[in-house]
Structure 1
Amino acid sequence: MEAGTHKEIALTRAIVVFLAVAVLIVIAGFTVGELYFWGKHAEENPVDLDIKYMTELVAKSPDDKNLVELGWLYYRKGDYQRAVEVLSRAVKLNRLNPAAHFNLGLTYQEIKLLDKAEAEFIKTLELDPESKYAYFALGKLYFSQEKWDEAAEQFKLASQKDPVSVENFFWLGQAYEKQGFRKEALAAYRKALDRVPNHTQAREAYYRLKQ
């Protein structure tokens, strides 16, 4: 084999080794950087990151929609006081925003200001009579106050707006059962099971009441 050929082979090997080492360095650097980035942010709650982003957005554009989103994030975090403050600002900016009233109602309910929660849910329905969530939330509110008849009425309306939801019929059955309306309760539980056959609570309630 000629000397020139040996040199070419040696040079080729050197280039291959160099490229392999370079690739390993790049991969190692990327991995370390990736671990640093994710390690740095792993301790931060995703909701906190969203709150930080929305707070900056609200500072630039403080409209009612952005405030509703920020208020909802505080609600999800469990910071109900801040949620009330932000959602109240949204309502002041636009009293015709049903989402602002609804989320404010949910927040009031969490901090046991039930009269205020009721008022916000009712206002939501005045602005958006098709809001299945507001009917259901109002039903749950009345149920928690042992206002069985009012609760049943709201769950019935919720089931009319959303006839697919198993929860509407399950809670309608609960409200009927609390009033001693066995036949109506069984029918509601049966409808819940027609929609979700393995709904544990509806199944237990149905067969318990059917005995």
Structure 2
Amino acid sequence: MCSKDGVVAMAEGEKDIEFKKAAIIFVIAALIIFAAGIGIGEAFIWDRYDTSDPAARDIKYLEQVLEQDPDSDQLLVELGWLYYRTGDYQKANQALARAISVNKLNPAAHFNLGLVYRETGLLEKAVQEFQRTLELDPDSKYAYFELGKVYFTQEKWDQAAGQFRYAAEKDPAGADNYYWLGQAYERMGQNEEARAAYLRVLEMIPDHPEAAKADQRLKK
């Protein structure tokens, strides 16, 4: 027969064992919850809001979506734009060419392809794409502006000025339209028209450094 003290000791020992079991179970449960939390965060939260390289993340996402919908010209345009922004002009060209093959009437595909051609020095092809954009969307102020910049690069000052004027008509609040218009006028020796364009820029952006320098230069 066990003594009273022995019974108490056994009870206390059992309590210790139960406590240790409970502690182990608690730790295991906590580790499982923690691991599950990491998995959920990686799958649904952290990856979505990770800003370390958002363009690369978005490219990866679009490529995955396109595996399910390879003939979406809109998704291809978005992918091409992201490649363009990251400087991968070859992949941008490929994505945008695919978008056009799917839908030749997509003005954004032609516009973005024009940007790619301009950046890679294929200026005549850039002109063709911007012109095609304007055929599909005559109100595209950006296409007029970018076409003007290509003509400016080609030193076709009169044609550049014409496009910048169109861009200014479509977007009167766009200071860049007037600045580049002033640049084109100045190259043609039309200093009064150039200064008027620069002054328009300064009305909108009084501390515009380039326009201020140009205005001072033409005052002399």
TM-score by length of 2: 0.77
Matched, 1:59 2:84: no
Alignment partner, residue 3 of structure 1: none
The one-letter amino acid of 2:161's match is A
The one of 123, 138, 153 aligned to 2:162: 153
SS in 1 for 2:200: helix
Matched, 1:69 2:71: no
CA RMSD in angstroms comes to: 2.5
- 1:66-145 alignment runs, 5 A limit: 66-145=75-154
Distance of 2:215 and 2:107 partners within structure 1 = 36
The one-letter amino acid of 1:64's match is D
Q: How far off its partner does 1:148 sit? A: 0.5
Q: Indicate the percent of aligned positions where both proteins have the same amino acid.
A: 54
Which protein is bigger by CA-based radius of gyration? 2
Alignment partner, residue 187 of structure 2: 178
Q: How far off its partner does 1:57 sit? A: 1.1
Distance of 1:130 and 1:189 partners within structure 2 = 24
Q: How far off its partner does 1:139 sit? A: 0.4
Distance of 2:122 and 2:190 partners within structure 1 = 30
Q: Structure 2 stretches of 5 or more lacking a match?
A: 1-26
Q: How far off its partner does 1:210 sit? A: 1.3
Q: How far off its partner does 1:124 sit? A: 0.1
Distance of 1:157 and 1:44 partners within structure 2 = 39
Aligned residues: 183
Distance of 1:140 and 1:58 partners within structure 2 = 33
SS in 2 for 1:96: coil
SS in 1 for 2:81: helix
Q: How far off its partner does 1:177 sit? A: 0.2
Distance of 1:125 and 1:104 partners within structure 2 = 13
Alignment partner, residue 47 of structure 1: 55
Matched, 1:162 2:185: no
Partner deviation per Cα, 1:57-96 (whole Å, 9 max, x = no partner): 1111221000000000100110000000010000011111
SS in 2 for 1:146: coil
Distance of 2:206 and 2:67 partners within structure 1 = 48
Q: Structure 1 stretches of 5 or more lacking a match?
A: 1-21
Partner deviation per Cα, 1:96-146 (whole Å, 9 max, x = no partner): 100000000000111111111110000000000000000000000000111
The one-letter amino acid of 2:74's match is K
Partner deviation per Cα, 1:134-161 (whole Å, 9 max, x = no partner): 0000000000111100000000000000
SS in 2 for 1:78: coil
Structure 1: 4+ residue segments shifted above 2 A: 41-45
TM-score by length of 1: 0.80
SS in 1 for 2:206: coil
Distance of 1:192 and 1:97 partners within structure 2 = 33
Q: How far off its partner does 1:45 sit? A: 2.2
